[in-house]
Every structure is written in structure tokens, then in C-alpha cells.
Structure 1
């Protein structure tokens, strides 16, 4: 099985390839920033994310990612935000103990929720998978599964036979099944659609 693009980028990044690092930065900066902004001010969120990428680059040779790079990065940013509240807010008396514990629970829930932590990664993987499909196949599958059109509506919109639409969708589903084997709930949602 060929390694995916992110695995190749991460390997090059660990070898000191700055272009690979820049690609990872471009891919993850915005979702990490939006994540941090849920808990701290915008300027601080930017600083925290940039600090995390600096640490990532500085320690690239000894980094071990056990699950996914996205989960690793989200954890880094989460810990940076959490330490800020613990050190600057709680110790300075700006948050009382109850408020602090509520914020702690919010962090834990957000990080441990599969939907919230993986949604950026899954969305990105869906787009990458769509790009692997032939253009017309990707277009039809996107209309069917993500824009909510029925097979009949797609056939009318693109002047295709119903059978052709069904063949494109079937082909796309096979590729998605291969790409998302570990996300059975997503496969169920992609497959379970009234046409």
C-alpha cells in the first residue's frame, strides 16, 4: 500500500525539509487557530498555534506520532491554551475554582469528542478522496452525498442517463470504502441515502 501524501510530507519534514513543513503549516494552521480561538483571544490563539509549530520544527527529529498528526497538533494547542488558563487566569484569581474546573471539562470534552477533534481531518480526507476520482465521478458523487440531490435530479442537471449516474456513484463508493475503513459510521452515512 502506497503511503499517503501526509505521511510523505511528515517523513520529509522530520528529515528537515522546510517545504514539507510549510505544507503542513498551510494545511493545519487555520483549523488549529479556530480551535484555539474557542478558548482564548484571537491574537493569543495565533501566538499559541505559531509557538506550537515552532516547537514542532525544533523537535522534529524526536517527535513520535502515535495516532494521527492532526490529533497530535490539536493536543499541543489544547495543552498550550490549558496551561495559559491554569497559570495566568486561575493563579491570578481571575477565575474562581468552579469556573476553572468548568473550563477544564470543556477542554477535555472538546478534545475527546470524536466529532470535534477529527472533523477537520475527516473533511480534509474527504476532499483528498474526491480528488482521486475522475472529475465527472467526483462531481456526481459530491452532488449526491454532500449537496443532497437525488440520482434523478443529477441525471437531469447534467443530461446523463440514470444508469450512468448510478455507475459513477457506485465507483466513488468503492473508493471511499477503501479510504475510510476505520470510520464505519461515515461509510454508513455515505451509503444510506434515498435516491
Structure 2
């Protein structure tokens, strides 16, 4: 009498009683598949990968009879799912590195523009310079007028004239003046 291998027994059981056959499949292969997944991607995602593999089988039970080797099918499914996770993580890491580099470059450009702004402010006449620096520190027009012993209209005029000079000085980087 020819002896059936475990896969043939499970396939036979699945064909006659799917829930019971699926249970046997799960009991037989869950732990070995989990070990493979853990080796490939670590403990964090391994259980999800293995459960997803079994869920795929459960959801596609009508096409299950086309599988010739359960062990090969399951191991290949788990490996492919792990490789997909690895690829996705590599793409995500690449994206994070690219974004980080772009942000660093943007920060450096912002720092350069701000540095140029302060250098240009230093070249302004004293009243304009004082108004711009205090304004950049967040002081109100009224407070600046009080500290400089002049009117609010005079402060507004100083600020407007200082911005015009800075706009000429900074050229295309003058957009920063929108925030002053």
C-alpha cells in the first residue's frame, strides 16, 4: 500500500471538508512559515505575513485544488510577501533620504536668504535699520514708535521705505519681505 505524504493528506481533506482540511493545513505549516518570515523580515511583520497567506488560501478555496505542492506553494507565498515588504521599506527609506536631503537643502537656502536679509538691513540708514530689526522681533508699530519717540505714521513710512530698499538689494529673494 502506497503511503500518502502529508501534503496529499491535507489536499484530500481540503477537497472533502474544507474547514477541517484548512485547520490541518494551518496546524502543520503555521510555525514553519512563521520562522521563515521572522528570518526574512523580523518578528514585527512575520505574523501578519503568515496570516495573510492563510487568509489568501481561505478566500481562494475554489482554486486550491490546482496546487500541486502545498509546502512549495506556502513557502513561496510567504517569501514573496516578505520580499514585497522589504522592497516597500527600501523604497520608503529611499524616499525618506531624498526628502531629508531636500529639506536640508531648503533649510540651507532659507538660512542663506535670512543671512543676506540681515546683512542688507545692516546697510540701511539707522532709523530704517532700527524699525526693521524691531519689527522682525515682533514689536508692534505702536511700541516701535514709542521707543523711538516718533509717530506711528513715521514708523510705517520708515518700514515701507526700508522694504523698498531691501527689495532692490535682495532681488528675487525679496519674497521674504512678505513676512516682515
- In the superposition, the TM-score normalised over structure 1's length comes to 0.43
Structure with max Cα Rg:
2
- In the superposition, the TM-score normalised over structure 2's length comes to 0.46
Which of structures 1 and 2 has the larger relative contact order (alpha carbons within 8 angstroms, sep 6+)?
2
